[in-house]
Amino acid sequence: MKINKKLSIVAVAVLATFQAQADIRINGFANLTTGITTEDTNLFGTTEDIDFSNDSLFAIQFSGDISDKWMATAQVIARGSNDYSAEFEWAYLTYTASDNSEIIAGRFRLPVFRYSASLDVGYSYHWIEAPQTVYDVAFNNINGIRYDYTNYSGDFEYVLQFSYGNYEDEIGGGINKAKDVVLASFEGNMSNIKGRIVWGRGENQFSQGALDAALASISEISPVLADELAIDGDEGVFLGFGLEYDNFDWFVSAEYTTIDIEDSFSPKDTAYYVTAGTRLGKFTPHITYQERDGRGDVRFQESVNVLPEPFRTVVTGINAGLQSSFFEEYSMITVGMRYDIATNVALKAEYTSYDNKIDVAEANPEDAVDTDVIKFSVNYVF
């Protein structure tokens, strides 16, 4: 396993500090996953060649009480997709202000989805991976501060969370940054029913080689249009809803999200999934349908129409091609089985049918392929 030397030195220093002031709690988890597609394509990292590293990971989490109100937490993850180079996923301090409220500061998981806190812990849910249509976003982790308030009224329990900060991550072959990110979430639970609503916004910046080159070409003809298309300080808005029913014998749940950066080339993304399953002793058969719609009308055509010929014709093609290259619309149906080998080990198998609803065969034949995917995984915690 390849471990970053500087990271190792920092980790040792952190642990030494913890040991001097607190008892250390060490937990870990791992996912060993492999899969294969039935066609010559690449679907979220899975290809027709069996690979045991792309979706696999190994993680260790350290936590320690600094005092009766302060606690430090650090999580280190080595991902197979990153050649098992260990990196700090989380590193934050928690201050317990009261029995009902906490303040967290540092790098932590943004509470965007139902399974955000345990997204990498495959053992915590019935799938091999959480639904890609909803969970495949660039803003899972954030550097900032969060306030959590937990309380109840009768049988109704609820959690309010407010987060602020910034993030930077790779997505779509480019670098996505956001500052002044604000996220508010509310989750309520009564008996067997759980619901949540999330709203967030941030000032976004996105840079990618091919995109930057296209915008530079457009800027030579129409700087106004290039500025409209670019994601450079533009506000992005996120909205999410979730609902779940679980009576321990069977369950059904769904999440629905929208992401919109209106003043840019990026189309509005709408995604959702619906999943259901039943628990039969150690076996949990389940089925999931998920869909993502990230295709819309070509924007800013009015700015193109005011250009004189022949520039109008040229820019029309560039503008439409640029925006459509980021369009995506697909659905997936997954049928799977989870088998709990032990109290901390689960074996999973899934069959997924992927349907790409955009015909991009001429631009990129691999992306146009509908395919079936078979996956197996062993998830454990310790």
pLDDT at residue 77, as a whole number? 97
| Residue 2, pLDDT score | 42
Predicted pLDDT at 279: 98
Task: Give residue-wise pLDDT tens across range 103-146.
Answer: 999 999 999 999 999 999 999 999 999 999 999 988 889 999 99
What percent of the chain lies above the pLDDT cut of 90?
Answer: 65
Domains identified in the chain and CATH numbers: 94-381 (2.40.160.10)
Cis link prior to 310 (omega < 30° from 0)? yes
Contacts of 277 (CB under 8 A, 6+ apart): 126, 250, 251, 284, 285, 286, 287
Instruction: Band the pLDDT of 221: cuts 50, 70, 90.
Output: confident
Integer Cα distance of 122 and 124 in angstroms: 5
Predicted local confidence at residue 220, as pLDDT: 86
Q: Please indicate, yes or no, whether the overall pTM of this predicted structure exceeds 0.75.
A: yes
- Span 297-312, pLDDT tens digits: 888 888 888 888 888 8
- DSSP for 107-175, please give it: EEE---STTSTTTT-GGGSSSSS--HHHH--S-SEEEEEEEEEEEEETTEEEEEEEEEEEEEEEETTEE
> For residue 129, what are its two tokens?
């991976």
Greater confidence, 100 or 16?
100
Would you place residue 22 in the very low, low, confident or very high pLDDT band (cuts 50, 70, 90)?
low
The answer to whether 60 and 91 have CB atoms below 8 angstroms apart is no
CA distance 78 to 128: 18
pLDDT at 121: 97
Instruction: Please tell me the distance from the alpha carbon of residue 182 to that of residue 163, in angstroms, as a whole number.
Output: 6
What is the reported pLDDT for 337? 98
